[in-house]
Chain A
Amino acid sequence: MFLINCPYCGERDQQEFKAGGEAHIERPKQPTELSDDEWAEYLFMRKNIKGVQFERWNHAHGCRKWFNMVRDTSNDEIKAIYKMGEKPPSQ
């Protein structure tokens, strides 16, 4: 059970949060211009890394804000948390 430092509320128990998958996958601005393959790349393909992964999380049972997390999936160490729209920390 992680202890997650919501950038708006502070440290809270994991059960207040919802994981939202890989971060920094931007919705294409002009979806109709994309081929089936390009759209499928956006829609379906995710990396699911063993190691350092950039993720989206939502403080669903708290402030309802979405934010980003850098997590090592091999040992669940949370390396960084930053707000939506902010640049990911350089590794």
Chain B
Amino acid sequence: MTKNLRVKSSEYIDETNRISFKFNGKTYHGFKGDTLASALLANDVHLVGRSFKYHRPRGIMTSGSEEPNAIVQVNPGTNRTEPNVRATEVEIYNGLEASSQNCWPSVEFDIGGINNFLSPFFPAGFYYKTFMWPASFWEKYEFFIRHSAGLGKSPTSNDPDIYDHRNIHCDVLVVGAGISGILAAKNAAKNNFKTLLVDEKNELGGSTIFENNEFNKIDNKTPSEWLKKEIEEIKGIKNLEIKTRTSVAAYHQYNYLLARENLTDHLETKDKTHKIRQRLLKIRAKKVILATGALERPLIFNNNDRPGIMLSSAIKKYSEFYGVACGSKNVFFTNNDTAYESAMSLYNKGINIEAIIDIRDQSESKIVKKVKEAGIKIYWSHTVVDTAGYKRLNSVSIMKLSNDGTSVTGSKISISCDCLGVAGGWTPAVHLYTQSGSKLKFDEEKKVFLPSQNKSEQISVGACDGDFKLDEIIKNLNQKLKDNLNIKETDLDTIKVEIDQENSKRNIWLLPSDKPLGKTKPFVDYQNDATAKDIKLALREGFRSIEHVKRYTTTGMGTDQGKLGNMHALGIIADTAGVKMGELGTTTFRPPYTPLTFGTIVGRNVGKFFDIFRRTPMNDWHVENKAEFENVGQWKRAWYYPINGETMHQAVQRESKAARESAGILDASTLGKIDIQGSDASEFLNRVYTNAWSKLAIGKCRYGLMLNEDGMVYDDGVTTRLGENHYIMTTTTGGAANVLGKLEDYLQTEWPELDVYLTSVTDHYATASLCGPNSKKILKKIIPDLDLSDENFPHMSFKEAKIGNIKCRIMRISFTGEHSYEINVQASYGKDLWEKCIEAGKEFNITPYGTETMHLLRAEKGFIIVGQDTDGTMTPIDLQMDWIVSKKKYDFIGKRSLYRSDTMREDRKQLVGLLTDDPNIVLEEGAQIVSELNQNPVKMLGHVTSSYFSPNLKKSIALAVVRGGKDMMGKKLFVPMENKNINVTVANPVFYDEKNERLNA
């Protein structure tokens, strides 16, 4: 049944290298150099998919990245499977498997095809109009829509491939390696510009490489012959890097472009392993030369979507480049001369051309004459009014066009055929140009949008700038290169170009049929099944903006972004609304130009490289001692240390008791540490903290609260005065970088007169926090010669000491309410310090505790954690920390805001303690608090911010923020949960050791 449609040995196809692949489960053969599309066409397979909405059979339409129909799933069922891949871009290899998408159970027999017969019920906006109400039905609608939409399947296991990123800086980036791009890159590189040339295809040369019009000549050679010589030449130029299979996805401001380089997709599976699959190139170019070419347009006529209907230029490429005939009985339908070139290509290979249908009334060019001489029938002033054939085109019906092109006359002629090449002219590929932010203008004569300007850092050359003829291309390119790169001479100065002149043009956006529009299916967007009828309906329903029409009809919203049909959609809107296309504006093209894989976007930043993580110098000990870890910012902090299969709750209860009854030790190395020096250091601290600092004696520590200028608590921590002009500030673990940034901001921009220097030393020190009634004895064992008496080393003071030869800074400060010491050593001695403490503490059952126990212990004392008990809306007054706000200081950051009418309101949320009436119920953090249960709607008073079961108090405790809570001491409130209401009482947030007696225990 399969016939071989190979027409001649092409130099790009290696017929000695036969390749076997599977499509929809069936084995086919092609050759090295084939794409999946060309190999399928060589096997006479046109039907490759079903359309999105109506499930109409669809075939391969193009030969490039603009393909709307031939969208396949590659290697289905494997961990390398990829959906939504264009068959025209897949290079075949032995073992390749691909399958159609959007069809069930098979592309040949598809149940959704029923939508096609129901299509009168599927007008534009059908989904919006139908699946709206009631909201509770959405789940069912969604199931239905998703099931029928079927845009391929995501892989279900990990991607085995490696992806990579690379930064490239170059003088000139040339996008597109057609004739314009090659000549631009060559001249740039030869003039000492570091040049990068990229092209999405695997071969250089663009469409000129298979240019076969014998009437076009460069230096007396055919353009393809001439260009091959140029390609050989540029491969040897130093200064020029060439990347094929590299598609520019995005063009951002300041000439920053992202391109995807495809390295292994064309290789057999065994050759893919341990290689980088795709690389994202991040390119910063001084100048960008866009040579992206043009895309051929289809024509919009009734039933213009059947398998076998293709772009005329694609038929030429399949014939000349891949050596494949797309049909055995071919018809062309055109509004310009390029279809005649395609026809001659087939004719010269002995393939049957049934007819050419031309909407123009004549053309005098040489190529048309040649076609006439070949005896091919040309129907001038005719249009296709209908096509037939369900899974493959079998005939077209044509009629004579009226003079104004809006209707057809005379009798219908039917022409039997299996392939129809359509040629609707060319649309410059301006996608990247518009992505860069540059504006387009409409060219009335050429009926295209063109770049409106060439700037010093960006030019468009060749077909993407509207130059479609070889002589124009060379002449304009030469001038632009000279102007833009400031070159005096180029090798283009002496090139001799002869071309075949086309002289008549005709453009009709929507071709008429003998049937009324309502009874026809002229597809504008193939991938999304939007027809001219839908667009007109949208306009009738009152949509005017092109962006709205686009969304309502889904025109241009597919993975191809409507590369083929966008111009026709605009043309039909303009014609219907009676406005000029230039006034209508164009839609925005967004990155990526063609879809990117997630792998390419994330590159190496996967798994453990997804984000940076920071470990303390004691980390290995925590791991060896089976700690569970939690992420705090980028830090991995020991969370709790379960023993003998303890749950987190059990471990935390044990750790908390031990710390209060004997001794505990916490790795506090992650706390932010900022070294502050300079003659104005004290004044600086006065301005950034709410309390006074000038009188802090050397060797003393003080707790500080830092506000934002709006009066809200921003960070807190203990700062120690090490010398006259030297302090060390600690910040919260998560806030360290932001605090440093904020302090730098004030120093550099508001108070540049202050002599203060800030240095982040977080990573320079490791900190062990030793706490509990036996902490003093343990420290004494480690540093016997340090006087630890309360007189010499009282709470909130600092000593420098030595553990053996290791210098350390010890602060007697406490976040647990117990007698405790924070010992700081140079980071590299951190683990050593930790082990010494553990060893010395053995006789006191020293217990390492993690962040969870730390949180519990401080909650027993009512100490806040910025970011847990505060959320950027809490002032110190709200936190009942009035004691730390200096009344005497004239100014500090945030002071003025504390006297704003809003921050002085009595009914602000304020921090309180909460006790549950049943001491065994632990509240959920985040739970809402109310005073009335039968109110509707119930008034929310606040929420729980911290909640634990305290093993030391043997009851549940919680911190909460409650509206007007300050004056509610002892008041009964409720925490309503899903199936019960919990009775609570407002209490003092300091639950344990209210008189701070244990600090000196």
Contact = CB atoms under 8 A, between A and B. Distances in A.
Contact of A1 (B253, B744, B890): B253
Contacts of B748: 65-66, 84
B381 interface: no
A66 B896 contact: no
B741 A36 contact: no
Interface string B733-776: 00000000100110011101000000000000000000000000
A43 B745 contact: no
Given A1-B254, A43-B709, A58 B900 contact: no
A78 to B, nearest CB: 9
B901 interface: yes
A43 B897 contact: yes
A74 B844 CA distance: 68
A58 B745 contact: yes
Contacts of A3: 254-256, 284
A36 B253 CA distance: 41
B164 interface: no
Contacts of A32: 890-891, 895-896, 899
Interface string A1-12: 111000000000
A64 interface: yes
A56 B900 contact: no
A66 B900 contact: no
B284 A66 contact: no
B924 to A, nearest CB: 35
Given A1-B256, A43-B710, A76-B253, A31 B896 contact: yes
A76 B252 CA distance: 11
A70 B252 CA distance: 20
A34 interface: yes
A20 B891 contact: no
B437 interface: yes
Interface in B252-270: 252-256
A84 B750 CA distance: 10
A13 B437 CA distance: 19
Given A32-B890, A43-B897, A84-B749, A60 B741 contact: yes
B709 to A, nearest CB: 6
Contacts of A50: none
Nearest to B893: A27
Interface in B876-909: 890-891, 895-897, 899-901
B451 to A, nearest CB: 16
A40 interface: yes
Contacts of A13: 256, 284
A75 B254 CA distance: 11
A89 interface: no
Contacts of B437: 75-76
Nearest to B711: A43
A84 B748 CA distance: 8
Interface in A1-39: 1-3, 13, 18, 20, 26-28, 30-32, 34, 36, 39
A31 B891 contact: yes
Nearest to A38: B896
B643 to A, nearest CB: 42
A43 B897 CA distance: 9
Nearest to A40: B900
A34 to B, nearest CB: 7
A66 B749 contact: yes
B257 to A, nearest CB: 10
Contacts of A64: 741, 744
Nearest to A67: B748
Contact of B252 (A1, A18, A58, A66): A1
Nearest to B745: A66
A88 to B, nearest CB: 14
Interface in A38-62: 39-40, 43, 56, 58, 60
Contacts of A85: 752
A60 B744 CA distance: 10
Contacts of A76: 253, 437
22 contacts: A1-B252, A1-B253, A1-B254, A2-B253, A3-B254, A3-B256, A3-B284, A18-B741, A26-B750, A30-B891, A31-B895, A32-B890, A32-B891, A34-B896, A36-B900, A39-B900, A43-B710, A66-B748, A66-B749, A75-B437, A76-B437, A84-B748
Given A32-B890, A76-B253, 19 more contacts: A1-B253, A1-B254, A3-B284, A13-B256, A20-B745, A27-B750, A28-B896, A30-B891, A31-B891, A31-B895, A32-B891, A39-B896, A56-B749, A58-B744, A66-B749, A75-B437, A76-B437, A84-B752, A85-B752
The 6 closest A-B pairs by CB, nearest first: A31-B896, A1-B256, A3-B254, A66-B748, A27-B750, A1-B252
